[in-house]
A and B are shown apart, each in its own frame.
Chain A
């Protein structure tokens, strides 16, 4: 009951805070304007965008590519006019707010992002007219967003599970966990696009390889640090170093641009009741759910799983009762890295691949883990689903780009009321 009240209060409080969402401006070496057009999570291909100077001198007209991205490089910094031709958009979509002209400023050596939010035709009008006429479209939208929220929540949960288990067993708050997520996506891309494997075997290879790398990371790095008696705060800051190192290595080895897999990039949605979903998302969610259930059962039923929870509970006691703590931690790193990689592949499937994709989702993973209570594996699952759902469903009331802020605000409010997280325990003093 108390928890329900807290969750509800947090939800309400979060709504008050709901503000703006991500869309990363990339400080890559370019000078001009760029943007990505998406509609309901899918890229919009072939939209015509005309760029002219402030005085009206045309610069260039481009069309968005298969990923919905477009890009215009300009000679001089300054203010430009960007016009999106509404006639070139897919028939069922329109620009949110109706205004199809933006006037961004280009700074020297910088690329400015230009944002056109798209929505289903007539959606805005309907939403306003709805108040009196009935709430069917509201509920349709709510169902759709709940579905998308579950999709996101499951991806976060996959990543959060590994983070939470590693925290529970080693006390490490791993800021490089986002990079494990990116790693999965990039490895799958390498097998898929680089070696020409179909995405499904490529994903399997990526997950296995990521698991091996996770094992290696603990065997040759974190395990050694623990043996040296490195403190948890020092390890946390070391993990920041690891995150920076890996992130920019990805940038060098992978690409500063966004990329996508060779298969399943743009799938038409199918209608299931009130929900429209691409089949790939349904399959992805099925796999995510299956993996989570398997890991959950493994934690509850298998010897290793029980040992893992015992180590998380009390490492000294576990060691004294004959559990090979280092061995358990190594298995957790292997599995944690593998499922984080899976999360990355799924994320790459529903969005695009980018070297910062893990970094961008890391805070949401942390939010999920912290909401549930640091170090409690099942808390992480609950917390992640709450974060995912909250982010998507909140867009019923606020623009989609405003959504992450709400989830973070909820995190803060929950901790204000219940400092140990939803399922966490209090610490003993003295």
Chain B
């Protein structure tokens, strides 16, 4: 078995573009779910409108890259408002179902034949990352170092996405840190506990929930940009409900309502997933494991994701960073 490759891809995945984009979206989920208690199961839709906003602006309308970013951000904010108006006065379980429905509607519209000219149907759009790569300060080549025998190198275009992505993560974490220490964050956390009590203290709960939804959605949409720019394409089915479920797994893994929880969660998630995938498929290829084939090995890691999520919530619901005291109090 090729352990060098397995370790190389695993270590790279800890900081790679997948981790970056999922960490950004998970920071958004953390604001919704961890701090405000909003069960937004439509986070993938925020990533989708951002990615598609950028893609359509550049490829279909032929406008420059930065206009696409602005349009994507505006689209995410508008989506948050549209999603929030019918859902934010609903109970938590209704909210979960309606946000999934909204996300599915958006995915289905993006992959529809009727709008193929704009969104590209189920194949999506591609060829819009040129403007971003033109700003790349790194000359062409591979960057990295050898960790003993293990090579850890990234091509220049990927490195550029990663640098920008990690700067965004740092910025978002700093904003979350400032906000959650402030009276504004206090209101959000209070809404998570009991919104009627907050209302009786003269706070406009709907407005705060909406602010939370917009903020988390806009931060989440940055993940959509990173996806589009890193892969140079967007496809509708990338932004399915399972993506949102993985985000929840990451937030809970890292610890909900912790500033760095979602980032650590995303890193751990991808490290484990890539390690598992590498080991399993290498083992199958080397004939060590014979009862499954390669494609089944690919599915097996998602079996482990599901199992991991169950075990995590049953045995360590506070995640890696969580405070055991908080969980003991409230059996939500």
Direct contact of A and B (CB under 8 A): yes
Give residues in A with beta carbon < 8 Å to B.
Answer: 17, 19-25, 27-29, 104-105, 107, 112-113, 115, 167, 173, 225, 228-234, 236-238, 240-249, 251-252, 256, 363, 366-367, 370, 374, 399, 401-402, 404-405, 408-409, 411-413, 415-416, 419, 427, 429-430
State the CA gap A241–B245 with chains docked (Å). 9
Residues B104 and A363 in contact, CB atoms below 8 Å apart: yes
Residues A231 and B330 in contact, CB atoms below 8 Å apart: yes
Nearest CB in chain A to that of B245: its residue: A240
Residues B94 and A370 in contact, CB atoms below 8 Å apart: yes
Q: Which of these, A19, A28, A241, contacts B307 with CB under 8 Å?
A: A241
Query: Smallest distance from the beta carbon of A355 to chain B beta carbons, Å?
Result: 9
Interface size on B, residues (CB 8 A): 56
Residues B101 and A411 in contact, CB atoms below 8 Å apart: yes
**Which 3 residue pairs spanning A and B have beta carbons closest together?**
A20-B112, A245-B306, A244-B306
State the CA gap A172–B17 with chains docked (Å). 36
State the CA gap A374–B97 with chains docked (Å). 11
Q: Which of these, B108, B302, B313, B314, contacts A20 with CB under 8 Å?
A: B108
For B140-178 the 0/1 string (1 means CB < 8 A from A) is 000000000000000000000000000000000000000
For B231-253 the 0/1 string (1 means CB < 8 A from A) is 00100010000100100110010
Residues in B14-47 with C-beta less than 8 Å from chain A: 39
Which of A21, A412, A416 has most B Cβ within 10 Å? A412
When distances are taken between beta carbons in the complex, the residues of chain B under 8 Å from A29 are: 294-295, 298
Residues B93 and A232 in contact, CB atoms below 8 Å apart: yes
Asked if A20 meets B97 with Cβ closer than 8 Å, knowing A27-B237, A229-B331, A241-B309, the reply is no
When distances are taken between beta carbons in the complex, the residues of chain B under 8 Å from A248 are: 299-300, 302-303, 306
When distances are taken between beta carbons in the complex, the residues of chain A under 8 Å from B112 are: 19-20, 401-402
Residues in B282-332 with C-beta less than 8 Å from chain A: 292, 294-296, 298-300, 302-303, 305-310, 313-314, 317, 330-332
Query: Smallest distance from the beta carbon of B94 to chain A beta carbons, Å?
Result: 6
Q: Which of these, B115, B123, B242, B307, contacts A105 with CB under 8 Å?
A: B123
State the CA gap A230–B306 with chains docked (Å). 18
Residues A405 and B108 in contact, CB atoms below 8 Å apart: yes
Query: Smallest distance from the beta carbon of B228 to chain A beta carbons, Å?
Result: 15
Give residues in B with beta carbon < 8 Å to A.
Answer: 39, 85-87, 89-94, 96-98, 100-102, 104-105, 108-109, 111-115, 122-123, 196, 233, 237, 242, 245, 248-249, 252, 292, 294-296, 298-300, 302-303, 305-310, 313-314, 317, 330-332
State the CA gap A349–B17 with chains docked (Å). 43
Residues A236 and B114 in contact, CB atoms below 8 Å apart: no
Looking at chain B's contact residues, the main secondary structure is helix
Query: Smallest distance from the beta carbon of B282 to chain A beta carbons, Å?
Result: 16
When distances are taken between beta carbons in the complex, the residues of chain B under 8 Å from A21 are: 108
When distances are taken between beta carbons in the complex, the residues of chain B under 8 Å from A408 are: 101-102, 104-105
State the CA gap A245–B90 with chains docked (Å). 29
When distances are taken between beta carbons in the complex, the residues of chain A under 8 Å from B115 are: 20
Residues A19 and B100 in contact, CB atoms below 8 Å apart: no
Residues A404 and B108 in contact, CB atoms below 8 Å apart: yes
Asked if A416 meets B294 with Cβ closer than 8 Å, knowing A20-B109, A408-B101, the reply is no
Nearest CB in chain A to that of B123: its residue: A105
Residues B108 and A22 in contact, CB atoms below 8 Å apart: yes
State the CA gap A246–B314 with chains docked (Å). 17
Q: Which of these, B123, B245, B306, B330, contacts A112 with CB under 8 Å?
A: B123
Residues B307 and A245 in contact, CB atoms below 8 Å apart: yes
Residues B123 and A241 in contact, CB atoms below 8 Å apart: no
State the CA gap A430–B64 with chains docked (Å). 54
Residues A19 and B93 in contact, CB atoms below 8 Å apart: no
Asked if A115 meets B306 with Cβ closer than 8 Å, knowing A229-B331, A412-B101, the reply is no
State the CA gap A231–B308 with chains docked (Å). 18
Query: Smallest distance from the beta carbon of A166 to chain B beta carbons, Å?
Result: 12
Query: Smallest distance from the beta carbon of A249 to chain B beta carbons, Å?
Result: 6
When distances are taken between beta carbons in the complex, the residues of chain B under 8 Å from A404 are: 104, 108
When distances are taken between beta carbons in the complex, the residues of chain B under 8 Å from A402 are: 112, 114
